[in-house]
Amino acid sequence: MAAMETQSAPLTLESLPTHPLLLILSFLDYRDLINCCYVSRRLSQLSSHDPLWRRHCKKYWLISEEEKTQKNQCWKSLFIDTYSDVGRYIDHYAAIKKAWDDLKKYLEPRCPRMVLSLKEGAREEDLDAVEAQIGCKLPDDYRCSYRIHNGQKLVVPGIEMSKDALPEKACQLDSRYWRITNAKGDVEEVQGPGVVGEFPIISPGRVYEYTSCTTFSTTSGYMEGYYTFHFLYFKDKIFNVAIPRFHMACPTFRVSIARLEMGPDEYEEMEEEEEEEEEEDDDDSADMDESDEDDEEERRRRVFDVPIRRRRCSRLF
């Protein structure tokens, strides 16, 4: 009798084994997986199984194992945190993030400085402010790209301090040092107080720009050096700021083929002939304008019976 009661007991969700249920849940999308959390306590526990969210993190956010280790979070927490930040762009994020990653992968061995110049992503508030300023909505894929990287840092010649620097980091320039090397390897060192006769004070967010020049005995060369500063609040503390090496080259001077094939006299004669032809073309166009005016005036006289007005020659003196 007890055996018959056991066989006739209804099959419920609670009585199903765990592994088949996890296999079924692994085929669900993240929306359905979240909805399963509200069905029953059993499904809520199973749908929170961390390996289930690993696939979604990689599919929608391209989160790698290394990033997970760095953030020290489980896959479900990573998915939820990322969704709360950029969930608006879930349909575009993976494709645009992959495009940025491919671009950086290509540039790293070829132009690493360009990769370093990429800025952090813009905030939602910044993009909303841009929309309010221009008076129209930006496409979601366009916004998504700026959420990943907000363009590049534009570096201008000069001295600049980050806006995020502490006020006590304010400093003043004391001196400069330049090491100038031409194409032959000859080195010239320049050291002196300030820059262009000034000793600028640099505070958080301030930019100081100046213009200077140097000469080379060769068509190319490079410069490098450092600035020496002292802190305003700690005047006894002096430090150097390195100036990375930058190269300069004289543009190539190109001579026209005609000048190379002709002698100086022949080339001048050709230029004079071209100038004369241009003057003749101008005279012809002027004559054509005058003849057109005469024809128009004759037509008006015939139609309206207006007498032809006499032309007066302009006085030379």
User: Is the distance from CB of 14 to CB of 41 less than 8 angstroms?
Assistant: no
Per-residue pLDDT at 263: 58
Mean pLDDT value of segment 47-52: 94
Mean pLDDT value of segment 226-242: 92
Whether 172 has a pLDDT exceeding 80, the answer reads: yes
| pLDDT band (50, 70, 90) for residue 191 | very high
| pLDDT band (50, 70, 90) for residue 164 | confident
Distance from C-alpha of 103 to C-alpha of 226, rounded to nearest angstrom = 32
Per-residue pLDDT at 144: 97
Per-residue pLDDT at 47: 94
Per-residue pLDDT at 310: 43
Whether 115 has a pLDDT exceeding 60, the answer reads: yes
User: Is the distance from CB of 86 to CB of 54 less than 8 angstroms?
Assistant: no
| pLDDT band (50, 70, 90) for residue 16 | confident
Per-residue pLDDT at 184: 92
Which of 244, 247, 153, 151 minimizes the C-alpha distance to 207? 153
Domain with CATH 1.20.1280 in the chain: 15-85
Pick the CATH number of 15-85 from 1.20.1280, 1.10.3470, 1.10.10, 1.10.15: 1.20.1280
Whether 41 has a pLDDT exceeding 50, the answer reads: yes
The packing angle between helices 93-107 and 140-148, to 10°, is 40
Whether 90 has a pLDDT exceeding 80, the answer reads: yes
Give the tens place of pLDDT for each residue, 128-154: 999 999 999 999 999 999 999 999 877
Distance from C-alpha of 223 to C-alpha of 91, rounded to nearest angstrom = 48
Whether 26 has a pLDDT exceeding 80, the answer reads: yes
Per-residue pLDDT at 124: 96
State in words which class domain 159-249 has.
mainly beta
User: Is the distance from CB of 12 to CB of 41 less than 8 angstroms?
Assistant: no
Mean pLDDT value of segment 146-165: 79
The chain-wide mean pLDDT, for the chain, equals 82
Give the tens place of pLDDT for each residue, 262-316: 555 665 666 677 677 666 665 555 555 555 555 655 554 444 444 444 444 333 3
Percentage of residues in the chain with pLDDT exceeding 70? 76
Per-residue pLDDT at 30: 94
| pLDDT band (50, 70, 90) for residue 235 | confident
Whether 127 has a pLDDT exceeding 80, the answer reads: yes
Which of 85, 160, 164 minimizes the C-alpha distance to 125? 85
Domain with CATH 2.60.40.1470 in the chain: 159-249
